[in-house]
Structure 1
Amino acid sequence: MNNASTIARQYLAAWNEADGAARRNHVKQLFTPNARYVDPMMQGSGHEGIETLIAGAQHHFPGHRFELSGVPDGHNDVVRFSWTLRAPDGDSVAHGTDIAVVAGDGRLASVTGFLDKA
């Protein structure tokens, strides 16, 4: 998959978007209407469910930012990428890897997150 990096960057941009209206727009553009997100700590589905998860993470980690770690890769309809969550002072507070399935329209149908450090 030649656009794994683009998908990963758009995904992290949605998680970093602090403005609620802009974040909802990111989610609608990035995820299919019935998309599902799951990791060891939370899960949600649909645009509203996923946007609520992102808003909750931002509330729990104010001022923190997700950054891409390494080089995303993919094949067929699957994208894999790693990320780091950084505190406002730059300290790393979490690392993980997400596996996303891309639907035929180019949006994400599902994301499964793995936490390497939390």
Structure 2
Amino acid sequence: MEQNELADRYLAVWNEPDATKRRASVEELWTADGLHIVQPTEDVLKEASGLGFTVTFEAQGHEELATRIRLAYEEFVAGGGCTFKRVGTAMRLRDMVKIDWALVDADGTASAAGTGVLLLDDTGRIRRDYQFIA
């Protein structure tokens, strides 16, 4: 699959209103043990550090991924009236795809942005999904 097509399918799952279609897309895009890892915001990192903790946010496997994506959909898309969109062209290097994205409201204003780095298996499914929120 071409990198922009993968990027668009990846972002579409975060915008999908139908729970059954969303779950099917999770199973199509990620491996059964796929891992989604989000770098926390600076505020969260600072708070955790002050308490002597390190922090990573992770969801692994289809069930946890489906829950993570459902909750993001409910908060940002259904509840916030925003859409996840690709920014620019996705880039591919062997088994890695880099996606820049934005969370855009109805008037086109980005309320959040980030970069995703997807590591793919031999069949083109996501085995690791690293997210960096700007």
TM > 0.5 fold call: yes
For 1:27 and 1:10, locate their aligned partners in 2 and report how far apart those are by CA, in whole Å: 10
State the SS of the aligned residue for 2:39.
coil
**In structure 2, how many angstroms separate the alpha carbons of the residues matched to 1:113 and 1:34?**
17
Q: How does 1:1-118 map to 2 (within 5 A)?
A: 3-41=2-40, 42-61=57-76, 62=79, 63-116=81-134
Query: Any stretches of 5+ residues in structure 2 without a counterpart?
Result: 41-56
- Matched to 2:22, the amino acid is R
Percent identity over paired residues: 30
CA contact (8 A) 1:58 1:64 kept: no
Aligned equivalents of 1:88, 1:55: Cα separation in 2: 20
1-structure distance, mates of 2:82, 2:61: 24
Q: Following the alignment from structure 1 to structure 2, what is the Cα–Cα distance between the partners of residues 112 and 92?
A: 21
Instruction: State the distance in 1 between where 2:130 and 2:39 align.
Output: 9
TM-score by length of 1: 0.91
Q: Kindly indicate which of the two structures has a greater share of residues assigned to helix.
A: 2
Q: 2: distance between equivalents of 1:59 and 1:12?
A: 15
* Higher strand residue share: 1
Deviates more, 1:96-105 or 1:2-11: 2-11
1:37-78 CA-partner distances (Å, limit 9, x unpaired): 011243201111111111111222123210000110111100
Amino acid at match of 1:68: R
Flag structure 1 segments of 5+ consecutive residues without an equivalent. none
Which segments of structure 1 move beyond 6 Å, counting only runs of 4 or more? none
What TM-score comes out, normalization by structure 2 length?
A: 0.81
Aligned length: 115
Shift of 1:89: 3.6
RMSD across aligned positions (CA):
1.3
- Computing the radius of gyration from Cα coordinates, the structure with the larger value is 2
Describe the SS at the equivalent of 1:71: coil
